[in-house]
Amino acid sequence: MNLKTFLLGTCSAVVIAGFAQAETLTIATVNNGDMVRMQGLTDDFTKANPDIQLEWVTLEENVLRERVTTDIATKGGQYDVLTIGTYEVPIWAKQGWLLPLDNLGADYDVDDLLPAIRSGLTADGKLYAAPFYGESSFIMYRKDLMEKAGLTMPDAPTWEFIGEAARKMTDRTADISGICLRGKAGWGENMAFLTATSNAFGARWFDENWKPQFDQPEWKNTLDMYVKLMNDAGPQGASSNGFNENLALFQQGKCGMWIDATVAASFVTNPKDSTVADKVGFALAPDTGLGKRGNWLWAWSLGIPAGTQKAEAAQKFVSWATSKHYLDLVAEKEGWANVPPGTRSSLYANPEYQKAAPFAKMTLDSINAADPTKPTVKPVPYVGVQFVAIPEFQGIGTTVGQLFSAALAGQMSVDDALAQAQQVTTREMTRGGYIK
Amino acid sequence: MARAVSTRRTAAFTIAAWIVALIIFFPILYTIITSFKSETEAIQGFSLIPSGTVESYVEVQTQKDYFKPFMNSVILSVGSTLLALLISVPAAWSMAFSPTKKTKDVLMWMLSTKMMPAVAVLVPIYLIFRDFGLLDSRLGLTFMLTMINLPIVIWMLYTYFREIPGEILEAARMDGASLWGEIIYVLTPMAVPGIASTMLLNIILAWNEAFWTIRLTTTNAAPLTAFIASFSSPQGLFWAKLSAASTLAIAPILIMGWFSQKQLVRGLTFGAVK
Amino acid sequence: MATQNTRALARLMVAPSVGLLLIWMIVPLAMTLWFSFQNYNLLNPANVSFAGLFNYQYFYTDPAFFQSIWNTLVIVVGVLLITVIGGIAIALLLDQPMLGQGIVRIMIISPFFVMPPVAALVWKNMIMHPGYGVFADMSRALGLQPIDWFAQYPLFSIIIIVAWQWLPFATLILLTALQSLDGEQKEAAEMDGANFVNRFIYLTLPHLARSITVVILIQTIFLLGVYAEILVTTNGGPGYASTNLPFLIYRTALLGYDVGGASAGGIIAVILANIVAFFLMRAVGKNLDR
């Protein structure tokens, strides 16, 4: 056994030495479908750049985030290209941890990037990460059930209408819930949805002096509405449902409506996995007439850490992966429906894409309706629609998410949950030095 | 008549044992079954009969190469086990055969080194690994796993060695055996079962270590735990694929465990047997 | 003379492991201790300063702190109860004559070979899921409302998952001990007319005492650190219902990136673990001496 280990070790060492002659980029990515698809298409890149080898580290979202954050903050230098979201980019750019992307090539056409997405990835006028795919949130609903309930979904509904429709569409005997919403605790799970929704109710996380606002009536309205609606028209066990669980429910025909990421549209309209593929309609996320809609904005993007020795090759790769050429490549190999959405205006102007993706227009409208720099009705000192782009937010958001999840599960009253959220957030913000 | 009673008893025990065993084994069995379903089948409700498709396995393999993380798992778990044995056999040996007053305290102290929660020392360890250039290296991780499991290994060996009666040694000495002769001809044969089961237990623990093996690796040294982390909770529902990946990740150690369970049991006494 | 030589040799043989473990323990511990007195957020490395005892005070006043300690203990005790009692029962059963003993034994020890995150994923998605889990299917078949395990009984669900992983370990050790029980003694007791219960209490249980102690000791060390299962299933919620100390430290370290706070939490955890170990040794440690 000893000898075998030794031999195997030597063999792999030789293999690695063989690769070492070319420049090897280590790329950290999240295990979402579009990213995994890219790994299968990299021949196109390596053929054009024979001197660059690609090594992938694919991890699930939470593990990936903690891995790359630990590495970049301690200057571990393990990665050359990082997959990060709109939450990290402003924070990391401020720390000087990311290289500005100023050398993406002549035909990259930066101005083609959707303005909302681009602004989320820009700091001090410089682009710090290139969007690979972008998403907002919107309503997916069952046309047949809506008709049965005797209602018509407007393109831009209000929460009042959604509440009424959800209760009418609910049919407990047929195991159909009027509405499915996220309930699982986490800053990127229920808090993404609730923070975005609270914007529509005029709430905000912090006032201009970074004072938490959970003691204000706007948050109470938001959470009251959410908990009541989910009790009346939500599915069993909603407090452990995240994106995946709701996707499954919707695909099985157990939800009347579902408000979640726009990327879900391609899943629910795919007849291979979805039993309701031909019955899905789309509408903008609801508002309450205050001028903001509860739709978020997120873009998985590629950034380059400031410490890398291979900046030039890394930039070449980032440029390739987020280019128009890449979109064409995916379309050619896998069809237009599988093209990573939400990054470029030219994609939405493409008639072939519009034909393949019935949700294209609504996705674009949703993305355009989100403004990370002015997310709320009242002024705020932060950027981010469904998050607050400060380092402390992941921790605070998850704790508050746990409290709200407990309110949804009926283990805590809405008032208690809000009072504790206020207390926890004040504590953390005082520690962070925001509240003097 | 006695025979009839004992047959009936055997039958009763057989049924009871099989029911218990099947309940305990069920989650693993169901994972294996699910891995041979298609994605739509997988979420369609309870069924013990899969359609037998291997599409999930094909997809798993095209998405991420299995062989390299598998080899890393083997190298890391076997390597760290051998290293741990090399360090701990002499230590446990001397503790067992020439114990001092402090031996027990030292043993307890060794166990207590395992009490620091891994998450709390992530940043210090990451900084150390970075400074020594050990990030994403098999050497660094082998050392890490060795250190994590060392206390358990010493403990197990110590308790096992202590069962070896000292009189045998004296008898051998009377017969004029040298120290080395003593070790090679008398003690080693008696110690082998204990060493073997310690080795197996440690391989299992090292194989299943899922904190450091993910946090300290990127591509070169990443073992099967990282392989699993690339399939768990993606966007979308891929339970069949996750089941296939899980089956692949646990299969080698499961098979090893099955074949070696007799050896594993023999030495797992922790000094419990007089 | 000979003894002196042996002594020296013994020290020499113990030295490498003690030395390594000492370095291994002291270096990270010292660094953790150092960080625990610093204001150090990983995402704000430019702003590091001396914090005094503030991190400790901060960690200690966390609204989840006391519940997390309680939950830690509940998990340890709950899993120990299930694994020790279940382990004895299964070991007794496996000690009986039966058909297919090998296969039964293999099936029972299998969970021990499953990586913790995989075990948690499987239980969460395929067994306990309120929509698609096997438990839910069973409830529906019986005409009952499926239970939403992770929302209604979060801590209990986690105990079940962890106990499932450790049951084989306990069973194996207890079975090994049981099989070493002197057959003659057993027969003698049977001849004396002692019934099963009496035999169990006066013969078997004392014989198993040492193994039970070992199971408790070793498992406690691992169980004090349970966190992967929580991360995969409940994320510490709802509320703080399933937040234990390691998870609280995880939240501080890898969601808040608060190295100072997490280090303070780590030191607190080590102290608490040592207190637990101390009482444990006093309670059961005498079984280790013969």
Q: Quick: pLDDT tens for C191-218.
A: 777 777 888 888 888 888 888 888 888 8
What is the least distance, in Å, from the CA of C122 to any CA of chain B?
7
Query: Is A30 found in the same domain as A172?
Result: no
pLDDT at A127: 94
Confidence at C4, pLDDT banded by 50, 70, 90? low
Query: Is B82 found in the same domain as B28?
Result: no
d(CA A191, CA A387): 8
Least confident of A27-36, A143-152, A197-206, A413-422: A27-36
Q: Which two tokens stand for residue C152?
A: 């209604």
User: How many contacts (CB atoms, under 8 Å) link A and C?
Assistant: 107
Confidence at C3, pLDDT banded by 50, 70, 90? low
**A416 φ/ψ sector (left φ>0, alpha ψ -120 to 50, else beta):** alpha
pLDDT at A348: 93
Confidence at A4, pLDDT banded by 50, 70, 90? very low
Query: Is A131 found in the same domain as A39?
Result: yes
| Domains: count for chain B | 2
Residue of B nearest to C2 (CA): B179
Q: Does the distance separating the beta carbons of A273 and B214 come in below 8 Å?
A: no
Within-domain flag for C60? yes
Within-domain flag for B273? no
Within-domain flag for A368? no
Query: Is A272 found in the same domain as A129?
Result: no
pLDDT at B268: 65
Within-domain flag for B272? no
Is residue C234 within 8 A of residue C247, CB to CB? The reply is no
Mutate to test the interface with C, among B24, B127, B269 (most CBs of C within 10 A): B24
Query: Is B6 found in the same domain as B81?
Result: no
Q: If we measure between CA atoms, which residue out of A84, A104, A126 comes closest to residue A312?
A: A104
Question: Is B254 part of the contact surface with chain A (CB cutoff 8 Å)?
Answer: no
Q: Does the distance separating the beta carbons of A56 and B219 come in below 8 Å?
A: yes
Q: Which residues of C touch B88 (CB under 8 A)?
A: 17
Highest mean pLDDT among A301-305, B148-152, C24-28: A301-305
Q: Does the distance separating the beta carbons of B235 and A244 come in below 8 Å?
A: yes
Q: Which residues of C touch A237 (CB under 8 A)?
A: 130-131, 146, 148, 151
Query: Is B241 found in the same domain as B150?
Result: yes
Could you tell me the CATH number of the domain that includes residue C68?
Answer: 1.10.3720.10
Query: Is B249 found in the same domain as B235?
Result: yes
The domain in which residue A81 lies consists of 2-135+298-356
Query: Which other chains touch chain A, taking contact as 3+ CB pairs less than 8 Å apart?
Result: B, C
pLDDT at A14: 43
Q: If we measure between CA atoms, which residue out of A5, A200, C265 comes closest to residue B75?
A: A5
Q: Which residues of B touch C122 (CB under 8 A)?
A: 27-28, 30-31, 243, 246
Query: Is A205 found in the same domain as A144?
Result: yes
Query: Which other chains touch chain C, taking contact as 3+ CB pairs less than 8 Å apart?
Result: A, B
pLDDT at A19: 45
Query: Is B135 found in the same domain as B35?
Result: no
What is the dihedral sign for C-alpha B150, B155, B160, B166?
positive
Least confident of A219-223, A345-349, C46-50: C46-50
Q: Which residues of B touch C224 (CB under 8 A)?
A: 115
pLDDT at B80: 95
Within-domain flag for B187? yes
| pLDDT above 50: residue B182 | yes
Query: Is B148 found in the same domain as B26?
Result: no
| pLDDT above 80: residue C144 | yes
Confidence at B5, pLDDT banded by 50, 70, 90? low
What is the dihedral sign for C-alpha C25, C28, C31, C36?
negative
| pLDDT above 50: residue A18 | no
- Nearest CB among A69, A236, A402 relative to C240 is that of A402
Query: Is A145 found in the same domain as A95?
Result: no
Q: Does the distance separating the beta carbons of C104 and B271 come in below 8 Å?
A: no
Q: Which residues 110-169 of B are in CB contact (within 8 Å) with C?
A: 110-125, 127-128, 147, 150-152, 154-155, 159
| pLDDT above 50: residue A205 | yes
Q: Are strands A130-142 and A297-303 parallel, antiparallel or unpaired?
A: antiparallel
3-state secondary structure string across chain A:
CHHHHHHHHHHHHHHHHHHCCCEEEEEEEECCHHHHHHHHCCHHHHHHCCCEEEEEEEECHHHHHHHHHHHHHCCCCCCCEEEECCCHHHHHHHHCCECCCCCCCHHHCHHHECHHHHHHCEECCEECCEEEEEEEEEEEEEHHHHHHCCCCCCCCCEHHHHHHHHHHHCEHHHCEEEEECCCCCCCCCHHHHHHHHHHHCCCCCECCCCCECCCCHHHHHHHHHHHHHHHHHCCCCHHHCCHHHHHHHHHCCCEEEEEEECCHHHHHCCCCCCCCHHHEEEEECCECCCCCECCCEEEEEEECECCCCCHHHHHHHHHHHCCHHHHHHHHHHHCHHHCCCCCEHHHHHCHHHHHHCCCHHHHHHHHHHCCCCCCCCCCCCCCCCCCCCCCCHHHHHHHHHHHHHHHHCCCCCHHHHHHHHHHHHHHHHHHCCCCC
Q: Which two tokens stand for residue B258?
A: 């099955």
Query: Is A119 found in the same domain as A21?
Result: yes
- Nearest CB among B126, B136, B234 relative to A32 is that of B234
Confidence at A432, pLDDT banded by 50, 70, 90? confident
Question: Is B180 part of the contact surface with chain C (CB cutoff 8 Å)?
Answer: no
The domain in which residue C189 lies consists of 35-42+51-98+167-288
pLDDT digits (tens, 9 = 90+) for A72-94: 988 888 999 999 999 999 999 98
| pLDDT above 50: residue C219 | yes
Indicate whether this model's pTM tops 0.90: no
Query: Is B243 found in the same domain as B118?
Result: yes
Instruction: Give the residue from B43, B59, B75 where a domain finishes.
Output: B59
Q: Which two tokens stand for residue B217?
A: 């690796």
Cα-based torsion angle of the residue sequence A22, A23, A26, A27 in order, rounded to the nearest 10 degrees: -100
The domain in which residue B190 lies consists of 64-267
Instruction: Give the residue from B59, B77, B105 where a domain finishes.
Output: B59
Q: Which residues 85-104 of B are in CB contact (within 8 Å) with C?
A: 87-88, 90-91, 93-95, 97-98, 104
Q: Which residues of B touch C127 (CB under 8 A)?
A: 27, 30
Q: What is the mean pLDDT of residues C262-279?
A: 89
pLDDT at A244: 84
Could you tell me the CATH number of the domain that includes residue B166?
Answer: 1.10.3720.10
- Nearest CB among B104, B112, B118 relative to C274 is that of B112
pLDDT at A6: 47
Within-domain flag for B88? yes
Q: Which residues of C touch B154 (CB under 8 A)?
A: 17
d(CA C42, CA A392): 10
Q: Which two tokens stand for residue A426?
A: 């004040």
| pLDDT above 50: residue A15 | no
pLDDT digits (tens, 9 = 90+) for B86-102: 888 888 888 887 777 77
| Domains: count for chain A | 2
With a pLDDT cut of 70, the percent of chain A lying above it is: 95
Query: Is B71 found in the same domain as B35?
Result: no
- Nearest CB among A1, A244, A252 relative to B78 is that of A1
Within-domain flag for A361? no
Within-domain flag for C187? yes
pLDDT at A112: 93
Query: Is A180 found in the same domain as A312?
Result: no
| Domains: count for chain C | 1
Query: Is B68 found in the same domain as B52?
Result: no
Is residue C43 within 8 A of residue A73, CB to CB? The reply is yes
φ, ψ dihedrals at A53, nearest 5°: -105, 150
Neighbouring C-beta atoms of residue B25, cutoff 10 Å:
18
Q: Does the distance separating the beta carbons of B269 and C177 come in below 8 Å?
A: yes
Query: Is B77 found in the same domain as B51?
Result: no
